[in-house]
Structures are given as C-alpha cells and as structure tokens.
Structure 1
C-alpha cells in the first residue's frame, strides 16, 4: 500500500474433521470355526490393514488439530518501542531475515517532514541516517534481500509541489536513486518482483497531464508502463506476479497488466466508490485486496480474486477504513482504523480484521486506544503492524509498531 488516510484518517477457519473408529462385531459361529492357514493369513492382513487405517486416521486427526491450532491462534500483540515523536510510520516489510519500516519525522505536523527509515534488529528499532533533509516523506518500502531494499515517497519542492522520491539501501547506507524525469509526482507503493525488477506506482505529470503511473526499474533505467492508465487518477498499490501479470489498485478502479497494457476490470467500479489500498497475494488465482468502500460513510472493503473474478467478502459493519493486508499462516489479516464520534470530536482507533474462512471479523488490535494502523507485513515468526498514535505528552503523533506471533 500506501496511500493511507484517504478519507477521514486522523491521521480460515478450518472445519474440524470428525473421524470415528467403528468396532466390528463378529458372529459367534465364525468365532467358533476352526482357523486354517488361509484364514489366519487373511485375518493377519485384515488386522494389519485395520492398524494402518487406525494409524492414518490418528495422523489425520493430529494434522487437522495442528492446522486448527495454527489458523485459530488468537492475535496477541506486543508493542515495540519506536521512540520517534513527532513522527508516523507509513509502511513495513519483513523478509530475508530483515525488517524495515518507513515514514516521516514531523517538523511541523504533516506539513513539514523528513524521511524516516527504521530497522528492526530483533530487539529494538533503530533510525538509519537519511541522505534527504528536505521536506520529504517515505510512503512505501520493499525488501529484495538484506542488501537490496527500496523505498519510495515524495520530496516537496514547496508546499504545493511534490516530486517522486526513490531511495535504495545497499546493506550499508541509503542512497537516492534518480527518479523518472517528471516535473511533479508522488510514488505511493514499491514492489521488488521475483526477477529483481523494481516496480512503483503513484501519480506524475506525464506529457503535461497528471495521471496514474506505473514504472519498472531494471538495468539502471526507468520504463513507463502507462498504456491503459491515461484516464486514471492515482496508483495506490501494486502486486506483481511476473512481468506479464500484475495488478494496480487505483483511486478509481482496478487494472490488470498483461505485459503490454493495463486493462480496467469491471468487478471494481471506476467511479471512486471503492478505493483499493492493499494487496496480499498467494498466487495468480488467489489474491486478496482491501481498501475503502465509500457509501454514506467510509466502510472497510475486502475483495478476493479466484483467477476469474473479484468478489466482495463480508466485513463487519461500521465506520472504518482498511489500509493494508498481509497473510498470517496463510490467512488474511487487514489493518486500518475505525472511527468514533465523541461530542464534536472524531476519534480514530486501531482496527484489525481477520478472515475466518467465510468472512472478515474484528480481531484484537494493538494496545493504543487511539491511532491508525497504516500497514502490515508477515515474517516467518511474527506479523507486524505499524502506524501512528497520539503522543501521551503532546498532541503530536508518535510512530508506532507492534507484532504478534
């Protein structure tokens, strides 16, 4: 993801398998009959087969129980000390044995910011020195490996003008990578594909018009993959399965890339009533997407792709927005914020939804009573959520990160 705060942001279950062992009653006449070698051999084979079936049944029960325990384990969050105030984290990624979170330090609220990249060493978060000291922020991060990490965002020339910001971590330091030659723009998401190419999406001024863009960076060169996106407003989020199979969630719609051009799909409306903000991809025929469903009030949006069509998945009712989704033990976990009115004040509270096999249900959220979860990422041993929460000392925001096993 990453364009969180689209609206009012203040910022599978497994059915148990019942296996029964049935004892067969043997007629008395059969019991009294003399046993021949053939009969004894047959009974021996029968007994061995029964034992094998019994063992297989026991193994099946054990395996099924383990799966149930794995998929139904409750979310139990541990808050980690980030120690960045005022600040906010916009994205997190965790793979190849490393975890990075990015965002911005706030000089003057969200109007004047500095890029922030933090690395988790297994015990604590550490802010790593940044080469950019202008009014800029990092919005998305993607890990290729420990020495190949990419982050994108925006660098504001002035309060009303932004240019794409691209940075790369080489294992030692962060360096600025020259972005595509556009006069204005912002990059909202970045992906490192399996072939090592870097993909990014957002918006930019192309040919004198501001529009959604997708760029691919390989061999030190940027390639605009823009055919089919000419009328789109902004690229929010990407998932890339291959050079010929990618999806981009737009501020108005969803488009698929076949290696040559983007094609809007009819399953997601292009009127802005549904805005994608996050993908979790299992394979080309199993993709989860979350976002915001704009009706009378913003509602959480969850959609699943089965290789043929995108279908909305039931979510809890309520005033809320989702900004990111990841896979915990193969099951989608989505994060965002829910809203509550308190007099004249609208409060944002962290929101976590979990897929139970048929629908998304509300799950335990990390500790802060107020704040926003902007992104989530799963590592082999834990699932991360990051965002921002009001500082306990001032009205500024503090960067926030938590994990669950």
Structure 2
C-alpha cells in the first residue's frame, strides 16, 4: 500500500492485518462516512422545529433486499442517487493481498455494473453526484468524473498538514466543497479543514479556531448557506468531545453551538439540509461504555436535540428524506446496523427495519421511496454489498 494512504491513519479501529484491516478500520471509524446527494431535491421549509408529521408506512416492515454487485472482494464506501434508474457507488476491489483498485459502479434501474476505475491512490470515501457527467469523489485526494473519464485534482496546501477529505457536496453556482481534517503527524493532531472548488482548482478556506477536531459531513442550502459538521476533540481527560457545527454565510465560516447531552462525548456523522430553516444532523453520544444515537435539528434560529431510541452501538452516519416525505437516518457500528424513521405524530425517532450489512453509506432517492445502503456483508470476508428498501 502506498505510504501516503490516509486510510492507515484513521482512528478508533486497531489494524489487525496489512491492507484489508486498515481499509476496514478506516471506513468503520465514526465520522469517516458522509452522505451526499440527499439535498438535491429540497423539501418545503418546515413550519416548526421539526418536519411535518410523517406516518410510518406499513410496507416499510419489509426486509431490505440485496442487489448483486460486480466486485467479489473489497469494500463499497459511498453511494448516491439521482433517480430510481440512476445511482452510483464507489469503493475498492481487492486485487491481491497488497493491492487495491478504486472502482465506480452504476445502477441503471435493473443491475449494478462497473462503470470505471478511479485514478490510482484516490481511495474514495465520499461521493457527490450533480449529474451523470458531473460527479466528485474524495478520499485521500479528489477526483472528478465528466461522463467519460476521471481526472484527479490536487487539494490546496494547509498549514495544519496533509488534508484528508471526508465529505463533498456541490452548489448551484457550480462550486464543490469538501471537508475533513488536516493532519501533521496523526489523527489526534488533526484540525478541521474545508476547501472549495472554483472550477479550476481547490482553495483552502479560513476557519475559526476550534482546536483539534474533524469535519465528517457537509450540506448546502445555497451557495451562501452551507453547513459542515463533525467533532471537536476533548482538550483534556476531564473534558468531553463535542459535536462541531460550522456555517458558511457567503463570506466566512462561523462556529455555531451544537446541542447534545452534557458530560457525554458527542459527534456528528452526517448532515443534510432541506431548506434554510430545516437542517438535520445525526451522529452519536457516548457516556462511559454506553453509546446511543444523536439527532439535532435547525429551524432557522436554533439547534435542538430530538428524542432518539436507546440502540446499542447506535451511531448514525446519514440522514435524508424519501419521496413520500418520510425522514430516515442510518448507520451503525461494525456488524450492528441501525436505521431510524422520524415519527412526526410523536416528535421522535423510532427504530426501523435495518439493512443486513456493515453500513458505510446510505442514501434516499429523489422523487422515490427507495432507500440504498452500501458497505460490506455481515457474513464472509470483505464481501462488498449494496442493499435496497423499495415499495
């Protein structure tokens, strides 16, 4: 594996065997996953602090169904969709005990096929799909698909060290934004990092000093209304890690106070905006050895915490709304996936049918009730898997 592979430096999972365990460790780390493409079809602005009530659909009791993928061994790290007949997933094929090939898969409404391979050493972790001819993938670097080929683009230098992007989104003015961390020596020394693409090159964005931390997700309402989320690391053994929220107003990035249980370690793994006054962010909260889902909502004025069920290893990684207006969140820790559905009648999140895989990424589909989840199978040795929940 190339020595500059950022996957070898991700946290919270021990490396057990060369290459493959490092890959699994990286993609299962909290904050390593993001969901893109959910806000391509914004819903109407919420009238209250939470979306309008959405009644659970009886068909959602059905099990998720696996869809065959053309990669026998490896990992799938991100998935995004434009419609029921257009979806993409990126990840890796294991070519040997020491070699990986980054791949991009495409769903045509009937099956998944390999559309292309990504540039060498791209190690994709997140995906933003504006159209079939305008796709960004980021990981150890950034790469753009123009409908014919992938082109690698070097990220801007950062005084904090080597930039490792964890999320990417696009805006209506043609720009792209990527967020993650800049590291000098290790993850513990990382600081939040944001860069913007102006059509020609990436440019580092000045950020408020929040200390050590990382950004794991980004979403855009408009070119002058963008949210980035992640975690600010604990400053000492007596202080908890806190959820981190940054907002772009078209001129500068500012920190916004994030709610969460006091004296708990909190973080955000995914964020999606439906309107300027309707933004959801999800993640996890840990107190001692107990971990539970965390969900917070922005109503245009304040962030508030929403009630979530007690779920073991219930960290959430992505949030989005399906075509029928149902709000979903998904994630999990290792082989313990979790899926939640917002119940507007009771103003809380309820447990929902879970995909039978190690969830790396999750997406809703514009104008559809279909849900997709990608990752690796819970059975077998690094078997890439994509599963779908569809009416």
TM-score (norm 2): 0.73
Q: Distance in 1 between matches of 2:53 and 2:296?
A: 24
Of residues 179, 199, 203, the one that matches 2:155 is 179
- Residue of structure 2 in register with 1:74 after alignment: 59
CA RMSD of aligned residues (A): 3.1
Q: Distance in 2 between matches of 1:215 and 1:4?
A: 22
Residues 216-236 of structure 1 deviation map (CA, whole Å, 9 limit, x = unaligned): 101313222223156242111
- Residue of structure 2 in register with 1:105 after alignment: 93
Of residues 247, 254, 268, the one that matches 2:259 is 268
Of residues 10, 22, 28, the one that matches 1:5 is 28
Q: Distance in 2 between matches of 1:391 and 1:284?
A: 38
Q: How many residues are matched?
A: 322
Indicate whether 1:397 and 2:383 are aligned: yes
Q: Which structure would you say has the larger Rg? A: 1
Alignment of 1:129-168 (within 5 A): 129-134=116-121, 136-154=122-140, 165-168=141-144
Residues 147-168 of structure 1 deviation map (CA, whole Å, 9 limit, x = unaligned): 11111111xxxxxxxxxx1111
Indicate whether 1:323 and 2:299 are aligned: no
Indicate whether 1:115 and 2:102 are aligned: yes
TM-score (norm 1): 0.71
- Residue of structure 1 in register with 2:237 after alignment: none
Which runs of 5 or more residues in structure 2 are unaligned? 1-25, 33-51, 233-243
- Residue of structure 2 in register with 1:196 after alignment: 174
Q: Which has the higher contact order (CA 8 A, sep 6+)?
A: 2
How many angstroms does 1:118 deviate by? 1.0
- Residue of structure 2 in register with 1:298 after alignment: 291
Alignment of 1:5-404 (within 5 A): 5-6=28-29, 72-75=57-60, 76=62, 77-95=64-82, 98-106=86-94, 113-134=100-121, 136-154=122-140, 165-181=141-157, 184-205=162-183, 210-229=190-209, 231-252=211-232, 253-268=244-259, 273-296=265-288, 297-319=290-312, 320-328=314-322, 329-337=324-332, 348-357=335-344, 358-366=347-355, 368=356, 371-372=358-359, 374-390=361-377, 392=379, 394-404=380-390
Question: 1:229/1:194 Cα in 2 relative to 1: closer, same or farther (>3 Å)?
Answer: farther
More displaced 10-residue stretch of structure 1: 226-235 or 166-175: 226-235
Q: Distance in 2 between matches of 1:242 and 1:205?
A: 29
